[in-house]
Amino acid sequence: MQLTGAEIVIECLKEQGVDTVFGYPGGAILNVYDELYKHSDEITHILTSHEQGAAHAADGYARATGKVGVCFATSGPGATNLVTGIATACMDSIPIVAITCNVGVSLLGRDSFQEIDIAGITMPITKHNFIVKDVKDLADTIRKAFVIARKGRPGPVLIDIPKDVTANKTEYQKVQIQEWEPSLEICESDIDAALKMIAEAKRPYIFVGGGAVLSGASSELYEFVKKVDAPVTDSLMGKGAFPGTDPLYTGMLGMHGTKTSNYGVSECDLLVVVGARFSDRVTGNAKKFAKNAKILQIDIDAAEMNKNVLITEGVVGDIRVVLRALNERLEQQDHHEWIEKIMEYKNRYPLTYHPEILTGPYIVEEIYRQTKGDALIVTEVGQHQMWAAQYYQYTKPRTFLTSGGLGTMGYGLGASLGAKVGCPQKTVINIAGDGCFRMNMNEIATAVRHQIPIIQVVVNNHVLGMVRQWQNLFYEKRYSATVLNDAVDFVKLAEAMGAVGIRVTTKEEFAERFAEALTLGKPVVLDCQIDCDDKVWPMVAPGAAISEAFDEGDMQK
């Protein structure tokens, strides 16, 4: 049958099982939005307050559900406003498809009104991108984009469609999309080498990254850990792949990781790295990282092998497939003496905070207590992000959504909207600092408009907390441009946008009012006033080895 390009866009989204699109309309994409209107009973459109919010919402939807997130934007500034969200997804390997529309084909390259080479701009931050200049290529391009976004190491794909292509007609034939399955290919000699390294290890440690979450390998990982009989640490992106309540779990690794994990990895003789990329925030001084250990890396992306840290052996393949292969042949190991030493570290170096006053750690622990660890936690970037990683115990994958690679302030609110739309049965809480909340707080209006009942917790210290912490420790307390000493009232702002606004200043108030927020079924903003000099502990200084982690007690010695 003959369809316009706009009709083909919608039909192809339906083929892919897309039920939600996040976006913002404009002239160039108007044909697509007109067609979307006719299919509003099949595809829900969430109109965000800003295109960046749409990209983050698509990202949050993808992280929470495991599906491909989709966002729309028009040409020019509409398209460029997606860039930060696309880059965020790219750094964290999140599958989204961003569809933009541009000026007509005959107007391309002429500096036409709201023309921008969005394909060129996003080339370094997408897995692939397309500009479709012939309507005959449109359906196949959209199908290809979804395959690319999901296949192998996931990531964002952009499709740019000139406006006349959305109006032109061509023959369309519906295609039945097959369920995507990961590749089963693994090099057998690599599996043999991995098994040999594990069998010879006396002090193994397992480091879990985001790849274990993305591949859905939690059950295989759990079996692997128990067979290896090793302690487990993780990155920000790896949270929930292995349960944080398990005795073998020792907390996060790296700059704000636990002393137990940092010391243990520094002393182990085998580090098994499962779907992690050796970020500088994890390794500290890379030359001193795990210097006593052989390193076995398991990753779907061969480009990650020996990129940041030299490894001993590597297995390239889908994490779940690789772990299944290892589990089938791996004999039960026993490292009780090593485990006892690590457990001694856990007892000696617990995470601590000041219990008398309202603090970030208390807020996170109280959220954990009241939600019984079953909420979907989203964060912005900064001190609150680290506290959310340290003090909430994640037992399931896809329950901690955060910008790990790009570190995007303003990510969390949009992402929480996408997560709640994708998982309406879950309690979704975005934890933000006041600096981050300011960046995209206009998306509270989106939550109200679409009746998306997220809870926004603002850990408000009236400063850019993480930057101030660095200034305090390493810049002789020169607080350049980090003090937010203005009269912005988040409670009044929330109320002005139609949400419930609540201010708390004590632990008792937070416990009472957060419990209330859980019952309201409405968008809620909790403005939580804490001290401007609360810090994230432990910490590793820039350029130092992770074995040199220090905390508040060390500072007082």
Would you name the residues annotated as active-site residues? Answer: 51, 113-114, 163, 466
| Farthest-apart Cα atoms in the chain, separation | 78
Going by the DSSP 8-state scheme, the letter that residue 550 receives in this structure is B
Residue 29 DSSP label: G
Helix (H) or strand (E) holding 361: helix 360-371
Distance CA 244, CA 388 (A): 13
Asked if residues 58 and 71 have their Cβ atoms less than 8 Å apart, the reply is: yes
Strands 2-4, 169-171: pairing kind: antiparallel
Distance CA 59, CA 85 (A): 8
Strands (E), 148-280: 157-162, 169-171, 204-208, 232-234, 249-252, 270-274
Q: How far is the C-alpha of 373 from the C-alpha of 210, rounded, in Å?
A: 20
CA contacts within 13 A on the Cβ side of 276:
30
The two tokens of residue 529 are 């006033």
Strand 294-299's sheet: what is its strand order?
Answer: 249-252, 232-234, 204-208, 270-274, 294-299, 313-316
Q: Is 248 helix (H, G, I), strand (E, B) or coil?
A: coil
CA dist 371 → 180, 203, 427, 431 (Å)? 34, 36, 8, 14
Distance CA 496, CA 440 (A): 15
- State the DSSP code for 332: P
> Is the peptide bond preceding residue 124 cis, with omega within 30 degrees of 0?
no
Q: Is the distance from CB of 87 to CB of 404 less than 8 angstroms?
A: no
DSSP 393-407: ---STTSEE---SS-
Q: In the structure encoding, which two tokens stand for residue 474, read together?
A: 């390493």
Taking the C-alpha atoms of residue 185 and residue 163, their distance in angstroms, rounded to an integer, is 42
